[in-house]
Structure formats: structure tokens, C-alpha cells
Amino acid sequence: MAVFKADIQDPNGKLVSWNEVDDSPLKSLSGSIPGDFFQQCGSLRSISLANNKFLGQIPDSLRLCSTLAAINFSSNQFSGSLPSRIWSLKGLRLLDLSNNHLDGEIPKSIEGLNNLRAINLQKNKFTGAVPDGIGSCLLLRSIAFSENSFSGSLPNPLQNLALCNGLNLHKNKFSGVVLECLGQMRSLETLDLSDNSFSGWVPTSIGNLQSLRVLNISMNAFTGSLPESMINFQNLLTVDLSQNSLTGSLSSWILKLGVQEILLSGNRLSGSMDSVFSSSPVNSHQKLLVLDLSHNALLGKVPSAIGDFSSLRVLNLSRNSLKGGIPASIGDLKALDILDLSENRLNGSIPLEIEGAISLKELRLENNFLVGTIPTSIQKCSSLTSL
């Protein structure tokens, strides 16, 4: 690595004190990397050029570093396609090329990376389908492909990745039905399929993912009702199913999971919420922080049992067809920051008890049939900035 100083632009003099045994991160470097740069790095085990301003293509000579276990070129300005031989580095455990301008497709030869534990290609310009060969990387723990232009359906061999705990495919061009085989990835803790074009029903096998903590399938074209198998989730903290075409009534189990955030806005859910709230177990009342059921077709009244969820910070029931009055129990929500009941058919007056929601910062009640005056007691909500 002694040739590094001569070949890399270092306008801030960051390499003045650098020597061959220095393993501190290299920062504030720029320019392109010479094509033959890695020819003298045959025994290199790990390389990180992250968080610099390198540009141009990643040199093909990287293939000569046959002992590499970790490559981190994240957060630079690298562009073009990857050297084809990078997929033949059999000892590679970590490949992080995120936040660059790289393009091209992942080749079938990825199946040869038998030691790969984590691959991060997010925030690039990669295209094409994810090859079946990824299912041969049996030691993979983390797959991050978000914010690219990958397309096609999910490869069936993903089900072979029994150790994988993170799958992030957010904001690509994936499409088609999510097959039941996804439920075989039983170690998943984070599943993000958001902002794609997936369609069809949410697979029943998703209930097998009992280690799941974050589920985000928002901004797709999923249809039908949610599978009852989702009641099997034991560790779920956040569920975001918003902006799909889900139908049916609000599932009775949704408030029985002890989830912190439930986001179901922008679907076609219908029916009353009353029984869902009244049957919720006491141990879930202190856990729920965010509930967004806006922009659906929900009917009936705002449940008085909503006041039992004393930890709620955000409650959004706007753009439904709710009738009746605002329940006095709203005043029991001492931690509530945002209350949005706008664009419904609510009537009556604003309850005096609203003064109890002392943390309220934003209150939206427009486009209803409310009458009377705003209670003067609302001044006790001293943090209120939007009304």
C-alpha cells in the first residue's frame, strides 16, 4: 500500500502521517483509482475507502486481491459497472458499495460467494433481476438493495437463506406476487419491500417470520385482506402496510401484538373499529406509539377505548367516514403529539376533556360537522402550534 500516497489526490494532507501499518479510516480523498492500483495488494484482507470522493470505475485489478474478506467502497462517486471478477473473490464476507453511481446487473456468478455474510448495494443504479444464484450464498445475514432499479420478481431460492436477518429491497422496480416461500426465511428481523410494484395477496407464510421486528410493504399494489397468520408475530415493533389496496375490516389481531407503530393509511379498509379496540389486551396499551389508519373507508364512531392507549403520540384517523362525537377519553392521551380526525363526518362539539392531552402539538379537525366553540381549556395544551 506504499504506493497509495503517490496515486491518490490528497488536498488536505490526510496521508502525511500515514504508514503501512496504519489502519485508521482514510478520509477526504478524491480522484480516480489507477487501473493497476491493486496489483501490489495480493495479500490484502480488508479494504475500506468509504466516505471519500473517489470517482470513475472500480479498477479491474481488484480481482487480484484473492484473499479479500471485506470491501467497503461506500459513500463515494464510483460509477460504471463492477469488474466482473469481483464476483469470484471466494473469501469475501462483506461487500459494501452503497451510495455511489454504480450500474449494471448482478451476475449469476454471485452463487460462488459462499462465504458472503453481508452485501450492501443500496443507493446506486443497478438494474435487472436478482439472480437465483443469490440463494447459494447460504451464510448471508444481510441483503441491502434499496434505491436502485432492480426489477422482476423475487427469486425463489431466497428461501434457502435461513440465516438472513435483514432483507431491504425498498424503492426498486420489483413486481409480481410475493410467493409463500418467503416464509422460509425464518431468521428475518427486518423485511422491507416498500415502494415497488408487488401485487396479489400478502402470503400466509409471512406469519412464520416470528423473529420479525420491522415489516414494511408499503407503496405497492397488495390486495385482499391481511392473513390471520400475522397474529403469530412475537417481536414485531413496526408494521407499515400503507398505500396498498388492502380490503376487508380492520383485523382483530392488529392491536394484540404489542406493536409500537401501526401504519395502514391509504388502503380500502372498511367497517367499524370499535370491537378491535375494546378487545385489545391491556399489555398492548402502553406500547402503541403511532397509529395511522387515515385514508380508508372506516365507519362508525371513534372508539372510546382509544383513551386506554396512554402512550400514543400520533393518532391519525383522517379521511374516513367516521360519525358521532369526539370521545371524552381523548383527554386521557397525555403523551399525544398529533391528533388528526379531519375529513370525516364527526358531529357535536369538541369535548372539554381535550385539555388533558397536555402534550398536543397539532390538532386537525377540519372538514367535519362539528359545532360550538373551541373550549378555552385547550389553552392548557401549551405546546399546541397547529389548530
Q: Mean pLDDT over all residues of the chain? A: 90
Range 267-271, long-range pairs (CB < 8 A, 24+ positions): 267/241, 267/242, 267/243, 267/295, 267/296, 268/296, 268/297, 269/293, 269/296, 269/297, 269/298, 270/296, 270/297, 270/298, 270/299, 271/298, 271/299, 271/300
C-alpha 93/C-alpha 49 separation (Å) is 17
Q: What are phi and psi of 119, to 5 degrees?
A: -135, 125
The arithmetic mean of pLDDT across residues 173-200, rounded, is 96
CA nearest to 37, candidates 80, 13, 76, 6: 6
Contact in structure between 215 and 238 (CB atoms under 8 Å): yes
| pLDDT tens-place string over residues 278-296 | 888 887 788 999 999 999 9
pLDDT at 6 over 50: no
The pLDDT tens digits for 318-346 are 999 999 999 999 999 999 999 999 999 99
Whole-angstrom distance, CA of residue 162 vs CA of residue 187:
6
| Range 109-129 average pLDDT | 97
Residue 246 bridge partners (DSSP): 224
pLDDT band per the 50, 70, 90 thresholds, residue 4: very low
13 pLDDT more than 70: no
Question: Which of 183, 204, 196, 207 has the alpha carbon at shortest distance from 150?
Answer: 196
Mean pLDDT for 219-232 is 95
One-letter amino acid for residue 31 of the chain:
G
Q: Which amino acid is at 257?
A: L
Give the pLDDT mean for 37-53.
87
How far is the CA of 123 from the CAs of 47, 75, 97, 149, in angstroms? Answer: 20, 9, 9, 10
CA distance 96 to 368: 51
Mean pLDDT of 54-70: 91
- pLDDT score, position 298: 97
> What's the pLDDT score for residue 385?
77
d(CA 237, CA 216): 11
Q: What is the pLDDT of residue 379?
A: 77
For residues 166 and 182, give the distance between their C-alpha atoms in angstroms, rounded to a whole number: 13
The pTM of the full predicted model, rounded to 2 decimals, is 0.90
| Stretch 49-58: mean pLDDT | 95
| Confidence at residue 5, expressed as pLDDT on a 0 to 100 scale | 44
Query: Dihedral sign, CA of 369, 370, 373, 378?
Result: negative
Q: Say yes or no to pLDDT of 365 above 90.
A: yes
Q: Cell numbers 478520509 correspond to what residue?
A: 27
Overall average pLDDT of the 53-69 stretch? 91
pLDDT surpasses 50 at 213: yes
**Amino acid 19: pLDDT:** 45
Q: Where residue 300 falls among pLDDT bands split at 50, 70, 90?
A: very high
Q: State residue 2's pLDDT score.
A: 41
Q: What percent of the chain has pLDDT over 70?
A: 92
What is the mean predicted confidence (pLDDT) over 82-91? Answer: 91
For residue 115, the Cα-to-chain-centroid distance in whole angstroms is 26
